Structure 1
Amino acid sequence: MKSERNKMVEIFKGGIPVIETLERWYEDFKLEGYGAMIPFIGIVRPDNGIEGLSFDLYLPLLNEWFKKWNELPDAKIKMAHSFGDVKVGETSFLCAVFTKHRREGFKYLEEFVEDFKANAPIWKYDLIDGKRIFAEDRAKPLPQAGILK
């Protein structure tokens, strides 16, 4: 699985190699003065008999959305997301917040994940019987963009 690195956002075709990615991020930041690294790992669940999820994304818009999170004065956030098919049990979303102290790290992590779920330009499909079916019931319109079908 190869990733495309773009500043603090990494994109993987298929599932994200969690341990390898977290180890690399840890190595990148362990000597930068941060006392906390707080990860979030999004795992594809076997809900409603799905075989997995499939994702489309628009990288220029994703980078634009992420820009504000890359400019925090007292924290750094790394993020990885999948495109294409991700099987049940694999990871499609991974992020880690680096802060001096844990309290602000947990605060940023919750804010980041909620903003991601509401505003990141990523479209989700269920994989059922080998077909991609748009997950419209779980989709949210993006500000000034609507829902991509």
Structure 2
Amino acid sequence: MESITLAGLRDTPISVDEVISAVGDARAGGTAFFVGTVRDHDHGRGVTALSYSAHPSAEAEMRRVMEKVVADTTGDGRPVWRVAALHRVGDLEIGDTAVVVAAAAAHREEAFDACRRLIDDIKAEVPIWKHQTFDDGGTEWVGAC
């Protein structure tokens, strides 16, 4: 059975329920998820607009990251059964869901560990860029998101 049940980029709203449902597994004793939303500030400046763009390789890189997280967090007979991740691209509004990741594992500790690794590694390694517009008129590109 494939452990990566959902991985992708969407230019439409993300359903948290879809991501959580994708990791459902009767063998799982714990499911953890993270929802990232667009906030109205960054580094003490008000944010008025935000857009995400991605390199054409982003989905493949996301899958690679997810495979590594599953391999690294499954051990001692306490497997991570399933993982899922979706990230928005395009223009988003304040309060919109930008990213959702989830992990289902035999035990809660592995589910929490895998979920945290998923979001941290996706932000660090997948070529998705954030362009923010601030209320003072300034703009900023932020590296991998």
- 1:37 is the counterpart of 2:34: no
- 1:127 is the counterpart of 2:127: no
| Larger fraction in helix | 1
Name the amino acid aligned to 1:97: A
| Larger fraction in strand | 2
- 1:112 is the counterpart of 2:118: yes
Q: Deviations 1:35-62 (Å, cap 9, x if unpaired)? A: 2221100011100222231011124243
- Structure 1 gaps of 5+ residues are 1-5, 141-149
Q: CA deviation at 1:78?
A: 0.4
Q: Which residue of 2 aligns with 1:94?
A: 100
Q: Which residue of 2 aligns with 1:10?
A: 8
Name the amino acid aligned to 2:10: F
- 1:70 is the counterpart of 2:76: no
Say whether the 8 Å CA contact 2:61–2:125 is kept in structure 1: no
Q: TM-score, normalised by structure 1?
A: 0.70
Name the amino acid aligned to 2:17: E
Q: TM-score, normalised by structure 2?
A: 0.72
Q: CA deviation at 1:117?
A: 1.9
Asked which structure has the greater RCO (Cα within 8 Å, sep 6+), the reply is 2
Q: Deviations 1:57-115 (Å, cap 9, x if unpaired)? A: 12424313432423625222100101111111111111111111100111112222221
Structure 1: distance between partners of 2:93 and 2:39: 9
- Structure 2 gaps of 5+ residues are none
Structure 2: distance between partners of 1:70 and 1:32: 21
Structure 2: distance between partners of 1:70 and 1:59: 19
Say whether the 8 Å CA contact 1:49–1:128 is kept in structure 2: yes
Say whether the 8 Å CA contact 1:54–1:132 is kept in structure 2: no
Structure 2: distance between partners of 1:53 and 1:13: 13
Q: CA RMSD in A?
A: 2.7
Change (3 A) 1:53 1:59: same
